[in-house]
Structure 1
Amino acid sequence: MNVYLVMVMRRPQFDPAVVPAHQRFLVELRTEGRVERSGPFGDKSGGAYLLHATDLAEAQAIAHRDPTHVSGGWDVTVYEWQAH
C-alpha cells in the first residue's frame, strides 16, 4: 500500500458540528489499518492525516467519504507522499 497525505482545511462557512463525525470517521479508518497518524493544526485552520491506499484513486475515494468533504465546508486535498 502507498501512503497519502490528506489535508483538510476549514472554509469560512465550515460547520463545527461536523468535527465529531470527522473524528469518528478517522477512528474507523484507524481500526481498518488505513490511517497511521492524524491531528489538527495548532492554529485551528484544519488538519491532516496519513492514509494507506493502493493508489491515488482509492485514496481520493476514501477521503471524499470524510464528513468534512461531504459537508462542503472544508477543502480536502490528497497528495501521494513519498516519505523516507
Structure 2
Amino acid sequence: MRVEGIAVKRYLVLAMRRPDFDPAVVQPHLDFLEGLRGGGRLELSGGFSDRSGGAYLMRAADMDEALSIVHQDPAYTSGGWDITVHEWNAH
C-alpha cells in the first residue's frame, strides 16, 4: 500500500472515553477524522455501540508518523480519552 508514493502500514487506533470526557470534543474529533479521510490516510472509523469510544484504521509510514498524526486528534489533545495505537498486519 502506498500514500503519495510512500509505502505505508496500517495502524489501529482505539479511543476509549474516560468518565470525565467532554462531549463537546466529539465533533472536533469527527472533523479530524474527515480530514484524515480526505487526505487518504483513513480507511475505516466508527464508534462502539455501547458509546464507550471507537476505533479508526489509518495509514502511516511508521509508528512515529502514526503517533504524530494521532497526537493531533482532539480526542487525544483534550485528555478525556485513552488512546492506544497498534500497528496492524490486517489482510
Same fold (TM over 0.5): yes
* Alignment RMSD: 0.4
Give how far 1:4 is off.
Answer: 0.2
Matched, 1:35 2:46: no
Match of 2:58 in 1: 51
> TM-score normalized by structure 2?
0.91
Q: Out of 64, 67, 70, which is 2:71 matched to?
A: 64
Which sections of structure 1, spanning at least 5 residues, go unmatched? none
% identical equivalent positions: 60
Give how far 1:26 is off.
Answer: 0.3
* Cα distance in 1 for residues equivalent to 2:40 and 2:11: 13
Count of matched residue positions in the alignment of Structure 1 and Structure 2? 84
* Cα distance in 2 for residues equivalent to 1:70 and 1:83: 28
Which sections of structure 2, spanning at least 5 residues, go unmatched? 1-7
Q: Out of 15, 18, 38, which is 2:25 matched to?
A: 18
> Looking at CA atoms only, which structure, 1 or 2, has the larger radius of gyration?
2
Give how far 1:54 is off.
Answer: 0.1
Query: Deviations 1:12-70 (Å, cap 9, x if unpaired)?
Result: 11000000000000000000000010000000000000010000010011011100000
* Cα distance in 2 for residues equivalent to 1:53 and 1:22: 19
Amino acid at match of 1:50: L
